[in-house]
């Protein structure tokens, strides 16, 4: 089947925070419908919706109670059908989030099909992603069930063929409705080792990430469901190496089209814990992205991302969100969008939205953040120290509502937003998107280049200036074409050899002349020959 997704750009919508049409403070499907022209104009090809299914929202929809219903706060199935139609009418595609490593404990399966879940008489020492143990005691049954995430997210037992069939049936139901693919939540965690045991530091990941049957199950899913439709699939896969990624994404293996890797998102942490902060070394980032560019070239396919609903805002993280916000947002976009793979833009990234700093833990809603705060304050870590971690890394940085305008609450809602709007909405908002110098318009150009230029899809990647800890430079080459990408990750001027060809795009006006070029703070420039 045609690999249309190799020239596509995906836009991720976190519905709860995108646009509220009815004033209840929660984004909804009709809100997305209102903004379809805004998305279409950006030029994105695929919209990915974070979960919109019925859920008690312990983890904002990643705890699904009913896969066949739309979450009440988000609207109705009729709204969803209208959205799908509106997306297709504009020539775009719609990808659903598929959360099948676990369900909500309020899913009827948990009561009526306990054998769809994982039970043990004794817990292991594993620690949940959201703090505490991964095991919860269920009194009636007298056993513990596994939950890698919150205790309201029991893990499904993929070794049970009936469960797998129930999942496939549900997937067919959505695909028959006309959706264009799935983003699969932690799909590399569905196969656990048959005998689970304690792990050093409570990190049981070797016993559930990329587990013994994961490829068997994905091939079965592909054969029974995915291969029957012209769709796109992306698997979210923490803890995965390029070698494993090749297995998941090589076309001949018939599993998934691409995966989300995590290594580049862990370079600013000092240990296995995401809250253990450490500044990014640019050389680490360069080396890592190079490894992935080479590792999947011709043998698989990459996703390219800086942001999603779990990550802090990239302009605050690897850029400069004070003096060079616009420049560094465009620079980061340039750095990513000339690589090989399918790029993902997370809502607000195209506006250069930033991290937020609320003083009170009461203003944070994310279960990961709230549980971490409780756990750390219990052992005596001071408020200010924990809040600093939250300001840098909390998932709520990504989840503050979209900033549409300078109206109250950024035009997101006429009510009280479920999570406070970043107070900088008066300066940073989508009203700017028509301005030819805006970050939005810059992204629009990048998306367009990918559609038109085969070199971006196929070219070889070569890192330049390997040792430089401020300049991220690389070339792409394809037949006799050459792209040279220079990105200055610092607020200092940076000299570099003038590349061949002419300037294709840059975030400053072109530096014409001879000899070396001098990159200005956070300058990005791309030459094409
Ligand atoms: O967000 C993380 C660290 O801050 C990750 O550990 C994250 O939990 C992991 O990447 C899995 O994420 C996915 O599954 C979770 C859900 O909370 C995330 O929002 C989702 O993207 C459980 O469904």
Residue nearest to atom 11 of ligand 1 (CA): 186
User: At CA 130, angle to CA 129 and CA 136, rounded to 5?
Assistant: 95
What pLDDT does residue 513 have? Answer: 79
- Ligand 1 atom nearest 308 alpha carbon: 21
Quote the ligand 1 centre to 310 CA distance (angstroms). 6
Reading the block at residue 307, the tokens are 């942001």
Residues annotated as part of the active site = 185, 236
Distances (CA, A) of 336 to 201, 254, 325, 416, 452: 35, 27, 17, 36, 17
What pLDDT does residue 1 have? Answer: 53
Q: How far is CA 130 from the centre of its chain?
A: 18
What pLDDT does residue 487 have? Answer: 98
67-72 contact pairs (CB < 8 A, 24+): 67/170, 68/170, 68/173, 70/29
Quote the ligand 1 centre to 2 CA distance (angstroms). 31
Quote the ligand 1 centre to 223 CA distance (angstroms). 27
- Ligand 1 atom nearest 63 alpha carbon: 23
Quote the ligand 1 centre to 419 CA distance (angstroms). 19
Residue nearest to atom 1 of ligand 1 (CA): 310
- Local structure of 281: helix, strand or coil: coil
What pLDDT does residue 510 have? Answer: 81
Q: How far is CA 35 from the centre of its chain?
A: 20
What residues line ligand 1, using a CB cutoff of 6 Å?
59, 62, 99, 129, 149, 185-186, 236, 238, 274, 309-310, 368, 395
Give tens-digit pLDDT for 458-483.
999 999 999 999 999 999 999 999 99
Among 57, 95, 186, 235, which is best to mutate for testing ligand 1, by the most ligand atoms less than 8 A from CB? 186
- Ligand 1 atom nearest 129 alpha carbon: 6
Q: In the chain, which residues have pLDDT < 70?
A: 1-2
Could you tell me which of 269, 249, 253 has the C-alpha nearest to residue 261? 249
* Cβ burial, residue 384 (10 Å; 0-12/13-18/19+): exposed
What pLDDT does residue 514 have? Answer: 85
* Cβ burial, residue 305 (10 Å; 0-12/13-18/19+): buried
Size of the chain, expressed as the number of residues it contains: 529
Among 310, 368, 396, which is best to mutate for testing ligand 1, by the most ligand atoms less than 8 A from CB? 310
- Ligand 1 atom nearest 368 alpha carbon: 4
28-37 contact pairs (CB < 8 A, 24+): 28/73, 28/74, 28/75, 28/79, 29/70, 29/74, 29/75, 29/79, 29/80, 29/82, 29/83, 30/75, 30/79, 32/83, 33/79, 33/82, 33/83, 33/86, 36/83, 36/86, 36/87, 36/90, 37/90
- Ligand 1 atom nearest 262 alpha carbon: 10
């Amino acid at each position: 089947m045609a690999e249309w997704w190799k020239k596509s750009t995906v836009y991720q919508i976190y519905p709860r925070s995108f646009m509220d049409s009815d004033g209840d403070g929660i984004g909804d499907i009709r809100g997305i419908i209102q903004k379809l022209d805004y998305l279409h104009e950006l030029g994105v090809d695929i919209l990915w919706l974070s979960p919109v299914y019925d859920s008690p929202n312990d983890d904002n929809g990643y705890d699904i109670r009913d896969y066949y219903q739309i979450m009440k706060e988000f609207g109705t199935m009729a709204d969803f059908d209208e959205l799908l139609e509106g997306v297709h009418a504009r020539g775009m595609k719609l990808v659903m989030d598929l959360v099948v490593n676990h369900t909500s404990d309020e899913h009827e399966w948990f009561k009526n099909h306990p054998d769809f879940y994982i039970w043990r008489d004794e817990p292991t020492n594993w620690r949940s992603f959201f703090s505490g143990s991964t095991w919860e005691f269920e009194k009636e049954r007298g056993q513990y069930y596994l939950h890698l995430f919150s205790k309201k997210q029991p893990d499904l037992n993929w070794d049970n063929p009936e469960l797998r069939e129930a999942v496939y049936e549900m997937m067919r139901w959505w695909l028959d409705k006309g959706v264009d693919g799935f983003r699969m939540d932690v799909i590399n965690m569905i196969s656990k080792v048959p005998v689970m045991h304690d792990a050093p530091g409570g990190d049981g990941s070797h016993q559930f990430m990329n587990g013994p049957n994961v490829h068997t199950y994905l091939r079965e899913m592909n054969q029974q469901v995915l291969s029957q439709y012209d769709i796109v699939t992306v698997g979210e896969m923490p803890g995965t190496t390029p070698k494993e990624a090749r297995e998941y994404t090589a076309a001949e293996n018939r599993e998934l089209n691409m995966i989300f890797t995590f290594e580049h998102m862990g370079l600013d942490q000092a240990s296995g814990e995401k809250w253990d902060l450490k500044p990014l070394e640019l050389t680490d980032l360069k080396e890592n992205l190079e490894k992935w560019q080479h590792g999947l070239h011709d043998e698989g396919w990459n996703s390219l991302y800086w942001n999603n609903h779990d990550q802090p805002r990239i302009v605050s993280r690897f850029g400069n969100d004070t003096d060079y916000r616009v420049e560094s947002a465009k620079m980061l976009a340039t750095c990513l969008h000339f690589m090989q793979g399918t790029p993902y833009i997370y809502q607000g990234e195209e506006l250069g939205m930033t991290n937020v700093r609320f003083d009170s833990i009461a203003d944070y809603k994310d279960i990961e953040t709230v549980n971490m705060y409780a756990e750390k304050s219990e052992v005596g870590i001071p408020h200010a120290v924990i809040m600093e971690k939250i300001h840098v890394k909390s998932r709520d940085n990504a989840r503050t509502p979209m900033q549409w305008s300078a109206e109250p609450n950024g035009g997101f809602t006429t009510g009280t937003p479920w999570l406070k709007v970043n107070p900088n909405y008066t300066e940073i908002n989508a009203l700017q998107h028509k301005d030819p110098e805006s970050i939005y318009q810059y992204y629009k150009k990048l998306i367009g280049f990918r559609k038109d230029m085969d070199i971006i899809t196929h070219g070889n990647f070569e890192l330049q200036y390997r040792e430089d800890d401020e300049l991220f430079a690389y070339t792409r080459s394809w037949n006799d074409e050459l792209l040279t990408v220079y990105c200055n990750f610092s607020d200092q001027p940076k000299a570099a050899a003038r590349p061949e060809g002419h300037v294709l795009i840059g975030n400053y006006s072109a530096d014409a002349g001879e000899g070396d070029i001098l990159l200005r703070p956070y300058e990005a420039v791309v030459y094409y020959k």
